[in-house]
Structure 1
Amino acid sequence: MAISELPADLLKGHGQRLAEHAATGRSPDREALDAYRAAGARAAELGLSLRALVDAALAAGEGLPGGVLPALRKAVSALMEGYEAAQLEAIRREEGARREFVDDLLQGRAERLAERAEHFGLRLAESYVVAAARGLRPGDGDRIENDLIARFGSHNVLVAVRDGLLVCVAPATLPAAVGEFTHHVRARFPPGWRVGVGRAHRGPGGVVTSYREAAQALELADGLRLAVDVVKAADLLVFPVLLRDRGAIEDLVSSVLSPLLEARGGHEPLLETLEAVFASQGNQTAAARRLRVSPRAVTYRLERIRRLTGFSPDDPTQRFTLETAVLGARLLGWPFE
């Protein structure tokens, strides 16, 4: 931008101040410096370049005695200070508006969502996937957000903190964004972190649904004691179905597993043995490796389970009943009080 294109009143009084300094040797006072800062802020708000602003300020000193340099230096410094402060404030406002938008989006507050989404370059008619990470520490969220925006652009990913979780919203057509989000969580979060990933859904309501699925996947993984860092809602669809009739599941768990409470050594080793056997597709040797016990110990425990409950994982029908009961026990926190 040429100097002549700057507003005529932007540096009003600047040349006169420099001339007075050249004549008297007095530096700009506080009022003058505040005026320069205000001019710098105004230039930033108008979208003028800092280079053009400084160039115009320097040009006003041409032809004046060399002693004007200290005043000119202070004037330019104050202009730059005001310019930078205005830019930082604009960035803060933008970040605040962005986070408020994500929060409204995740809560399903529909007020002006489409209009605000367009401002951030999002197309809400598309399908989106939400990933939620547990284990957030102060400062980690901002760094991960900056890394994701640097790679995918601010119009492709939204990152925010919601209910203690670091949440990433990305288009379903950009699966690499969720993978990159998980990579940064793995690199920055302390041990014990976990990421839940919702399914792809369309529109603003779909974002809310995907977020709830991601958060529920984390809860289910904790309840089931899953030894995985990334859990997908699509892989856990059966569990919400099980929980829809809580009374029936509680009755199943109590009927099938209550006899284990009488076992010497407690019910937990037997429950863990069943989980290991089911996770190993019935392979008792593999289950023994998971439990770090001998295969003979697994065989002994399964026999105890059969004698106490009357159910055996070797029988296909009984296996399904046992596995459902064990899953229900973990989900509902059995033994019930």
Structure 2
Amino acid sequence: MADSTRRRAADPGPPDWLAEVAEGASRDAGGVPVEFLGDYLTLLADAATHGRQAKRRELDAVGVLGRRAAEQGISAGRVVQLYLSAARRLWQDLPMVVRSRDREAVRAAAAAVLQVVDDAVATLAEGYADARRDLVRREESLRRELIDDLLRGDSDLGTLVERAEPFGLDLARVHQVALAAPSRRLPDADAAISALEAVVFDRLGDRDVLVATKEGLLVVLAPADAVAADRPAPGQGASTELGRLMHRELSRLRRGRPWRVAVGRAHPGVYGIARSYEEARETLTMAGRLHADTPVVTAEDLLIYRVLLRDQPAMVDLVQAVLTPLTRARGGAGPLLDTLDAYFATGAVATESAKRLHVSVRTVTYRLDRVRTLTGYDPADPAHRFTLQAAVLGAKVLNWPGSPLPLPA
């Protein structure tokens, strides 16, 4: 740009007038450094005085400045304001020889300046947007890696704390993990994440909250105390509230319905996050196996099933010893198991069981009598009821009699 420099040196006016324009534009833009103008003012001055348009390499340099502004965290609005304010101030402060030209000359100078402004600002914004996309992709990659390591729970604690800080995570707090599973393959992950982020951030704030995907599921990591503080109904569990918040928002999406949400219990520290995730994942699996009719389940809801499954061989023995005689009944064991399940769920009230099963009370009492005859356990006897109920729960977990009981190891 040596030629333009020589031409500018020949123009009348104070030698530092462009520097004054740059400083004023910086103030107008809230203190954006004048370095981000680069040779932009020179391009404007050349356009005004000589009608010269910016060359491709000069505009490319402006695009680099846009990228640099994005990387340094300067807002797009402020950097664009810097450029527009610089153009306005330059036009006002042009040497009198330029502003005293005839009308056509002034019109031509204005058109040339506006063309440079248009090209430069467009290139600036393009460079800024490119840098922001790169930053978002990099952040998304870092977020996904952080989520994976947090949920796995076997990474170095010090490194995790350092990596979590830019995302606003205080790993010393008590967190819980919630998982959302669509009815089929996760449809539009970006739309689902955006929907969840909007509502979760609005209710809980954007600190200590992460929303991501993992293995076809939506993952929400949230501070348990924030969920509890936001709880609208007295006595309503914080885990249930987080799950309902997620389910309500996801159900508004056109795809993925019906959703099922599982929420792990709240635990402190880094390893508590991994523990809550494992609980949520087990709860989600268990709810599917049990054909749970509620869309939001918590680890507390299904804790008894996790206890039962910790000793699966013993559970298989219990089901086999107590319930396999029911297979000799007409119609198989299924109707009798359903009756026992409804009987225990209604507090051992036959009339309520009949309503739930849509059968007569006489049918319920007949089936309960068949259970007593075939197994030797009386559902109405408190001493027998616990054994029968534990066996029924175990059968649901093992999906028996729909699937054969596992063979002993």
Task: Tell me the TM-score normalized by structure 2.
Answer: 0.75
CA contact (8 A) 1:11 1:57 kept: no
| 1:154 corresponds to | 206
1:25, CA displacement in angstroms?
4.5
1:67 aligns with 2:111: yes
Find 2:282's aligned residue among 216, 241, 255: 216
Is there any run of 5+ residues in structure 2 with no aligned partner, and where? 1-22, 99-108, 231-237
Compared CA separation, residues 229 and 6, structure 1 to 2 (3 A): closer
Find 2:308's aligned residue among 242, 252, 262: 242
Compared CA separation, residues 163 and 44, structure 1 to 2 (3 A): closer
| 2:354 corresponds to | 288
| 2:250 corresponds to | 188
Percent of pairs identical after alignment? Answer: 45
| 2:386 corresponds to | 320
CA contact (8 A) 1:125 1:203 kept: yes
Find 2:127's aligned residue among 82, 85, 89: 82
Amino acid at match of 2:36: L
Task: Indicate the SS of the match to 1:235.
Answer: coil
Compared CA separation, residues 109 and 145, structure 1 to 2 (3 A): farther
CA-to-partner distance for each residue in 1:94-134, whole Å, 9 max, x for gaps?
33323322221111142411112222222211211222222
CA-to-partner distance for each residue in 1:51-92, whole Å, 9 max, x for gaps?
224323544455262232222222222222222332343334
Find 2:164's aligned residue among 111, 117, 121: 117
CA-to-partner distance for each residue in 1:199-239, whole Å, 9 max, x for gaps?
22110001101111111122222333333222222233332
Task: Indicate the SS of the match to 2:331.
Answer: coil
Find 1:265's aligned residue among 295, 316, 331: 331
Amino acid at match of 2:148: D
Find 2:194's aligned residue among 142, 155, 171: 142
Q: Supply the distance in 2 between the matched residues of 1:222 and 1:158 (Cα, whole angstroms).
A: 25
Task: Tell me the TM-score normalized by structure 1.
Answer: 0.89
1:143, CA displacement in angstroms?
1.6
1:40, CA displacement in angstroms?
1.7
CA-to-partner distance for each residue in 1:256-282, whole Å, 9 max, x for gaps?
111221222222111111111111111
Compared CA separation, residues 43 and 231, structure 1 to 2 (3 A): closer
Compared CA separation, residues 45 and 245, structure 1 to 2 (3 A): closer
Compared CA separation, residues 91 and 284, structure 1 to 2 (3 A): same
Q: Supply the distance in 1 between the matched residues of 2:367 and 2:195 (Cα, whole angstroms).
A: 49
Task: Indicate the SS of the match to 1:234.
Answer: coil
1:310 aligns with 2:362: no
CA contact (8 A) 1:144 1:181 kept: no
| 2:179 corresponds to | 132
Find 1:230's aligned residue among 287, 291, 296: 296
In the alignment of these two chains, the number of paired residues is 337
CA contact (8 A) 2:243 2:297 kept: no
Q: Supply the distance in 2 between the matched residues of 1:195 and 1:8 (Cα, whole angstroms).
A: 51
4+ runs deviating over 6 angstroms = none
CA-to-partner distance for each residue in 1:293-321, whole Å, 9 max, x for gaps?
11111112112222222222101121111
Q: Supply the distance in 2 between the matched residues of 1:288 and 1:26 (Cα, whole angstroms).
A: 90
CA contact (8 A) 1:15 1:61 kept: no
| 1:17 corresponds to | 43
Larger Rg: 2
Q: Supply the distance in 2 between the matched residues of 1:289 and 1:191 (Cα, whole angstroms).
A: 29
Task: Indicate the SS of the match to 2:385.
Answer: helix
Compared CA separation, residues 30 and 109, structure 1 to 2 (3 A): farther
Q: What value does the CA root-mean-square deviation take over the aligned residues?
A: 2.5
Find 1:44's aligned residue among 57, 66, 70: 70
Q: Supply the distance in 2 between the matched residues of 1:149 and 1:248 (Cα, whole angstroms).
A: 45
1:54 aligns with 2:84: yes
Amino acid at match of 2:311: D
